[in-house]
Amino acid sequence: MGEKSITAYKEWQRVEKKYLFSTPIAYTLRRRLQAVLQEDAHNGPDGYRVRSLYFDTISDADFFDKLDGLEQRRKVRLRIYPPDYGAVKLEVKEKSGAYQRKRTLTVSPEDARALIRRDFDVLLRMEHPLASELFGILYAEVYLPRCIVEYKRQAFLAPGGDVRLTFDSLISAREGCSELFAPALNLYPVLDSSDITLEVKYSHFLFGYIRDTLGEYGKIERSVSKYCLSRHISYIQS
């Protein structure tokens, strides 16, 4: 079977709330929250880039499950943080009611390229329960690389808790593209350049000062899936 692949595993189960803001409002909110939150170590002066390659079934079952608002649904993706292409995250996110379960394996670029070629046998060499589970799912349900999504992120953490807030801007995508490691990609915008998405993630409870600050802006929680927004544009144009 070849040499065993070495992986690192992480798992989270948490609530994820999503909001959409204009740039001026998001800037004001971010400045207020920066006073009480810790910046993610990867932020730098201007945030950091995130690029994901999403897989879906031959019939786009995950995409349509989201559009139909099903309580039980799944997303499978490979994720990198350009310009660092060395460590790749193989992630599966599963929604059940209010909670999202996210499981992540860190895999090598070589293993990621094998998955993009649909050489799913590489998962068996990882000898990890999640890899074995994904092997069965990806083969049985005929998963294919479907869409690349890229954006800029600024992340913040709440001291003394497991609360994480992320501001994502310049969301762009490309349908039918699997060039995860390309230095530059020809992408189309998914949202207006002035729109910024905020994701609020926590496992147990949201601190009152964060909830109250968000409440002052009168925003209603929205179902903002970057993957589905990106695929939806292609469906409209086709």
Q: DSSP character for 124?
A: G
Q: What pLDDT shows up at residue 77? A: 98
Task: Please give the single-letter amino acid code of residue 158.
Answer: A
Cα separation, 151 vs 178, whole angstroms: 16
Residue 63 three-state SS: helix
Helices 208-215, 23-34: crossing angle, 10 deg rounding = 150
Q: Are 105 and 128 in contact (CB under 8 A)?
A: yes
Q: What pLDDT shows up at residue 46? A: 84
pTM of the prediction? Answer: 0.93
Retrieve residue 86's tokens: 């060395």
The pLDDT tens digits along the chain (238 residues) read 445 665 799 999 999 999 999 999 999 999 999 889 999 988 988 899 999 999 999 999 999 999 898 889 999 999 999 998 988 999 999 998 888 999 999 999 999 999 999 999 999 999 899 999 999 999 999 999 999 999 999 999 998 888 999 999 999 999 999 999 999 999 999 999 999 999 999 998 899 999 999 888 877 777 778 999 998 876 655 5
Residue whose pair of structure tokens reads 């409870």 in the numeric block:
205
Q: What pLDDT shows up at residue 160? A: 82
How far out from the chain centre does Cα 5 lie? 24
Cα separation, 185 vs 174, whole angstroms: 8
Retrieve residue 177's tokens: 């593209």
Looking at the chain, how many residues does it have? 238
* Helix, strand, coil percent values for the chain (each to nearest 5): 30, 40, 30
Q: What pLDDT shows up at residue 1? A: 40
Q: What pLDDT shows up at residue 232? A: 80
Q: What pLDDT shows up at residue 217? A: 83
Cα separation, 105 vs 128, whole angstroms: 9
Find residue 107's DSSP bridge partners. 88
Tally the C-alpha atoms within 13 A of residue 139's C-alpha that lie toward its C-beta.
12
Long-range contacts of 87-91 (CB under 8 A, 24+ apart): 88/112, 88/180, 90/115, 90/134
Retrieve residue 111's tokens: 């293993």
Q: What pLDDT shows up at residue 3? A: 59
As to burial, measured by CB atoms within 10 angstroms (0-12 exposed, 13-18 middle, 19+ buried), residue 81 is middle
How far out from the chain centre does Cα 230 lie? 13
Q: What is the CATH number of domain 8-237?
A: 3.20.100.30
